[in-house]
Amino acid sequence: MKIKKELAALFTAFLALAAGAEDPAALIQGRATFERQTTELRDAAAAAVADLGKKYRAALTSAQESATSAGDFDGVVALKAEIARFDFDPTLPLPAPTGNHAALTRLAGQFNDQHRKLLAKQQGAQEALAKRYQTWLAGQRAELTRQKKLEDAAAFDTEYRAATSASPAGEAAAAVKSAVPVPAAVPGETTLLGSFETPDDLKSLEVRSGPA
């Protein structure tokens, strides 16, 4: 009984030591590389969405000028309303445009389609990056296990489990949408920056850095 208690105490001390130990240098470097590449993907997505918005705004302006030259009152009104909406809330994908003007419907459809393609491309790139990172973590864990470096292998295992429990596709979508500028406040109105009333509100407050 005494031997079992001593072994249990020794095992507990080992776990405490492993938990407090610094991560292996290879893991720290690999994690930093993954986080840097993730940031680069998000920045690229933000730039692509911003460029798409600029092109849509320019196309709307050009269509309004053409409608004005043609004396198309309904077209001018519809396009002007969409320009005002987009300037206040440059959200993509776009909601159904006001009015039933052919040029506006065509432009909105084109840019909605292009935005969906951008989002799909970003999600695919993030998923591929996450998969490569997970594969690398698993390979390092296996190699360290073969070398009997169990403490280092345990650190890679913790990182691997955290990485595989994440949702790269969902994070990519959120990253693209968050790249859209926040609407400017309208005088006399209150702008809601955050809330704690629903589960979805609380999700926006989650902060993750490194292993969960």
Tens digits of residue pLDDT in 126-137: 999 999 999 999
Q: Supply the DSSP symbol for 5.
A: H
C-alpha distances out from residue 48 to 90, 92, 136, 146, Å: 14, 12, 29, 45
- pLDDT at residue 137, rounded to an integer: 95
pLDDT band at 100 (very low <50, low <70, confident <90, very high): low
The radius of gyration of the chain's CA atoms, rounded to the nearest angstrom, is 26
CB 93 within 8 A of CB 113: no
CA atoms of 185 and 193, how far apart (whole Å): 11
Q: What global pTM score does this model have?
A: 0.62
**pLDDT score of 91:** 81
Identify the burial level of 115 via C-beta atoms within 10 angstroms of its C-beta, where 0-12 means exposed, 13-18 middle and 19 or more buried: buried
Q: What is the pLDDT of residues 15-42, one digit of tens each?
A: 444 444 589 999 999 999 999 999 999 9
Say how far apart CA 183 and CA 160 lie, in whole Å.
39
